[in-house]
Amino acid sequence: MEVKKVCKNCGKTFVTEDRHKICCCYKCRNAYEQMMRRLNGLPTKQTESICDKGKPNKKLLSPSQAAEYLGLSRMTLYNYIATGVISCVDLPGRKLISRDELDTLFKNNTHKAAVAINFNDYITFYQMCDVYHRSYNFVRAVCREQGLKPIIRSSIKYFRKDLVREAFYNHELMITDAKAERDRFYALKKEKRRSHEYLNEHEIEHSSEEYSYKELMTIFHLDRNQIFCYSKKFGVRMRHVKTFCLFNKHDIDEIFSTTPPFNF
């Protein structure tokens, strides 16, 4: 039997066969239930905390759950974590906050509030790029390499100027030491290539119409790179025997009879 009723939420008239139905649709029913819960002083779906809904005994909270538990935004919670007001556990890919830690903040106020900083003693990423004339990626790599920890204010990372100066100085020292070590390595390698042990070790039997590297280095006082440059510039005929190289004697004598070494 169809009955005409008036919706408790929107006031529209509707026809239904259910005599217990009080709203015209499920949206009006949800809105009416929320209104009645607010009038009776009961928590609604919007005011229920995520950490209390379905898991009342949850001990560890994510940053989103902790922020909603405290009634803060996520950025404010991350600022409290960066300044040490709230402690957390860093796991691979996520952070966890103890619910007891949050309750302790209100039981005994032993935690220090965030201290106001003097921004004249701090510098941002982009200011570092302008001061040191480096790219953003280079500055970020230096900060990660030296372990610089920022202080976050209004979603902006600030670094102490003295620590930044020291980090860039240490990075330059590392670059200088690496370059000096590389130069020493190549100098020793070049000296070894000029030594008699290297020449005797890399010498093979050949005809009198050809020069080997050892003979050219001994007669004309050249190193291997200079010999190679001469041969490429003047088109000297060469013959390869396995890993060794032999140069045509006639071509070499003709070159150095008209062009002395180091003058090309």
Write the pLDDT tens digit of every residue in 101-153: 888 877 765 545 555 667 788 888 888 989 888 898 899 889 888 888 888 77
Q: Is the pLDDT of residue 46 over 80?
A: no
Beta-carbon neighbour count of residue 19 at 10 Å? 8
Is residue 50 over pLDDT 50?
Answer: no
Rounded distance between C-alpha atoms, residue 196 and residue 175, angstroms: 34
What was the pLDDT predicted at 55?
A: 45
In CATH, which of 3.30.70, 3.30.780, 1.10.10, 1.20.1630 is domain 119-184? 1.10.10
Given a contact cutoff of 8 angstroms between Cβ atoms, the answer to whether 119 and 154 are in contact is no
Rounded Cα–Cα distance for residues 39 and 24 (Å): 21
Is the model's pLDDT at 261 over the cut of 70? Answer: no
> Which run of H or of E encompasses 196?
helix 196-201
Extract the tokens encoding 106. Answer: 């209100």
If you count them, how many residues does the chain have? 264
Q: What is the pLDDT of residue 109?
A: 57
Say which residue, 3 or 164, is predicted with more confidence: 164
Query: DSSP states of 123-185 as a string?
Result: E-HHHHHHHHT--HHHHHHHHHHHT---EEETTEEEEEHHHHHHHHHHHHHHHHHHHHHHHHH
The yes-or-no verdict on residue 78 having pLDDT over 60 is yes
Instruction: For residue 131, give the nearest of 94, 103, 164, 96 by alpha carbon.
Output: 164
Best-predicted range by mean pLDDT (74-88, 172-186, 190-204, 221-235): 172-186
CA pseudo-torsion sign 224, 227, 233, 235: negative
pLDDT average, residue stretch 33-50: 65
Which of 19-23, 78-82, 260-264 bottoms out in mean pLDDT, i.e. has the lowest? 260-264
- Would you say residue 86 has pLDDT above 80? yes
